[in-house]
Amino acid sequence: MRLAAVAVGTSGHGGLGKLSIRGSSSSRGVTNFGLSAVARGCPSLKVLSLWNVPRVGDEGLCEIAKECHLLEKLDLCQCPHLSNKGLIAIAANCPNLTALSIQSCPKIGNEGLQAIGKLCPKLQSISIKDCPLVGDHGVSSLLSSASSVLSKVKLQGLSITDFSLAVIGHYGKSVTNLMLSGLQNVSEKGFWVMGNAQGLQKLVSFTIASCWGVTDVSLEAIGKGCANLKQMCLRRCCFVSGDGLVAFAKSAGSLECLQLEECNRVTQSGVIGVLSNCGLKSLTLVKCMGIKDISLEAPLSSSCNSLKSLSIRNCPGFGTASLAMVGRLCPQLQHVDLSGLCGITDAGLLPLLENCEAGLVKVNLSGCLNLTDEVVLHLTKLHGATLELLNLNGCRRITDASLAAVAENCVFLSDLDVSRCAITDVGIAALSHAEQLNLQVLSFSGCSGVSNKSMTFLKKLGKTLVGLNLQHCNSISTQTIELLVESLWRCNILF
């Protein structure tokens, strides 16, 4: 009844342009009646999102299709009673549809998608996830139309086969962004054919996750067939090795950003090989357990002067020797994220810091338990003139000496996190006396050595702060927090 009232109340102004309904119970909540009222009262509706609405079925969606001919974006998630009938009605009556997302709708299948492919020539974005009735015929019909302008395609958890990937590779001439995830029925041949079809010439960003068909052979074919590919993300692709990665990097001539997550056959030599053979600007490794810290005897090949951003997170085998090699290979780094590398030491990180010629701007060392003040001292001396962000969260051997080094050497630092470090009031005092610092975000969460004595220093720092984290600082009283909140009213204080 409330939804119907909203529809009536806005009808005099042309009705709603955008409506999002998320979550309702099976006994109460939005029904076909309410959605029908919206359809009649809001003919100018352009965006509709229905999430977890078990009492809405084809009747309500057909009313939307009948009355809302300007509809451009439709998002359906966990709608158990919506079927092909409702989707066919949308296709027949909403020719301006540009974006369609369908997730966990068990009754929607090929017939509805075929209608969309045939009757919605402006469709630019399609996302389908966990819909058991969707197969090759539905997916291929979306792309095989001669007038297809689809640029963004996401297919996740579907029972499609090699046939669909062949169609994407041949007809996806407008596709710029592609994501394929959990496609267990697609083999190596499917990915190989998709790459060799040479149709994905406009593809810029490609993400593949949990697809067994991605191998060294098929990955190289993708690199050769996607001439303008700039961003590649591989997640849980267990058959891709270091050699395959190097071959892909060599064949994908336009590649700028490479992200690998849980690709456990990738080795240290594979990572070094990639950096030595392509013009990457950004490399990200997450939970790649196959990397072992080995000192290579052979001299390194040509350096990777193009790499600006390096992120290696939670890869326990990436240690001192690996860091030293990356430091020598990549002298132009500006962003470094080594969070969760609990095995690295000062000796391993210092060569990387010394080899970064361009000047580091953002450095994240959170969770690097063995690092000491010596690293921060060198970092601030070498890169204090460029450093803008420094995260030392959980580096428990970092003390007030590091804050003194920051205060003395950093000019443009705006974001500093020393949560769960061995910081005391002395360190905060040193920061507050640095006249050149203009910190905007500062975190001392979990620093038990910070007490009420820091209130004066925090007030001084607070003149430029927009965010201050004092959570779990047990030595700061509630009264002090209240005084800080009152004094630093422009700053968002977490406590």
**Is 289 a member of any domain?**
no
In the predicted model, is pLDDT for residue 485 greater than 50? yes
Can you tell me the distance from the alpha carbon of 415 to that of 335, in angstroms, rounded to the nearest whole number? 14
Pairwise pLDDT comparison (3 vs 89), residue with the higher score: 89
Angle at 430 between CA 426 and CA 431, to 5 degrees: 120
Domain of residue 461, CATH code: 3.80.10.10
**Is 432 a member of any domain?**
yes
In the predicted model, is pLDDT for residue 446 greater than 60? yes
**First-residue to last-residue Cα distance in the chain:** 42
Contact yes or no for 67/43 (Cβ under 8 A) = yes
In the predicted model, is pLDDT for residue 147 greater than 80? no
Q: Which of these three, 134, 152, 184, is where a domain ends? A: 134
Paired strand residues for 312: 285
Over residues 298-337, the pLDDT tens digits come to: 555 677 899 999 999 999 998 888 888 888 899 999 999 9
What is the predicted pLDDT for the residue at 59? Answer: 96
Average pLDDT over residues 375-388: 97
What is the predicted pLDDT for the residue at 24? Answer: 65
Can you tell me the distance from the alpha carbon of 277 to that of 265, in angstroms, rounded to the nearest whole number? 19
Average pLDDT over residues 140-155: 90
CA distances from 478 to 85, 420, 483 (A): 60, 20, 9
What is the predicted pLDDT for the residue at 27? Answer: 57
Considering the entire predicted model, what is its pTM? Answer: 0.90
Greatest C-alpha distance within the chain: 77
Can you tell me the distance from the alpha carbon of 288 to that of 266, in angstroms, rounded to the nearest whole number? 7
Average pLDDT over residues 354-358: 92
**Is 419 a member of any domain?**
yes
Over residues 260-285, the pLDDT tens digits come to: 999 999 999 899 999 988 789 999 99
Over residues 24-81, the pLDDT tens digits come to: 665 567 899 999 999 999 999 999 999 999 999 999 999 999 999 999 999 999 999 9
Contact yes or no for 355/381 (Cβ under 8 A) = no
Can you tell me the distance from the alpha carbon of 373 to that of 354, in angstroms, rounded to the nearest whole number? 16
**Is 79 a member of any domain?**
yes
Left (φ > 0), alpha (ψ -120 to 50) or beta: where does 97 sit? beta
What lies within 8 Å, CB to CB, of 349 at 6+ separation is: 323, 338, 365, 368, 371, 375
- % of the chain surpassing 90 pLDDT: 84
Pairwise pLDDT comparison (462 vs 295), residue with the higher score: 462
What is the predicted pLDDT for the residue at 6? Answer: 53
**Strand, coil or helix: what is 405?**
helix
CA distances from 265 to 181, 311, 318 (A): 19, 18, 14
What's the count of helices (H) and strands (E) in the chain, helices before strands?
18, 19
Over residues 220-236, the pLDDT tens digits come to: 999 999 999 999 999 99
Contact yes or no for 281/257 (Cβ under 8 A) = yes
Can you tell me the distance from the alpha carbon of 19 to that of 43, in angstroms, rounded to the nearest whole number? 12
Over residues 84-107, the pLDDT tens digits come to: 999 999 999 999 999 999 999 999
**Is 257 a member of any domain?**
no
Q: How many domains, in total, are found in the chain?
A: 2
What is the predicted pLDDT for the residue at 25? Answer: 61
What is the predicted pLDDT for the residue at 8? Answer: 45
Q: Quote the tokens at residue 14.
A: 């042309």
Q: Which of these three, 80, 104, 134, is where a domain ends? A: 134
What is the predicted pLDDT for the residue at 5? Answer: 46
The residue among 208, 181, 184, 210 whose CA lies nearest residue 103 is: 181
Q: Which of these three, 134, 157, 180, is where a domain ends? A: 134
**Is 417 a member of any domain?**
yes
Q: Are strands 99-103 and 389-391 parallel, antiparallel or unpaired?
A: unpaired
**Is 152 a member of any domain?**
no
- The strand ranges marked E within 157-245 are 177-181, 205-209, 231-235
Contact yes or no for 345/320 (Cβ under 8 A) = yes
Can you tell me the distance from the alpha carbon of 346 to that of 375, in angstroms, rounded to the nearest whole number? 6
- % of the chain surpassing 70 pLDDT: 94
The residue among 430, 426, 461, 456 whose CA lies nearest residue 443 is: 461
Can you tell me the distance from the alpha carbon of 299 to that of 165, in angstroms, rounded to the nearest whole number? 41
Whole domain around residue 469: which residue ranges? 359-494
Q: Quote the radius of gyration of the chain (alpha carbons, Å).
A: 27
**Is 440 a member of any domain?**
yes
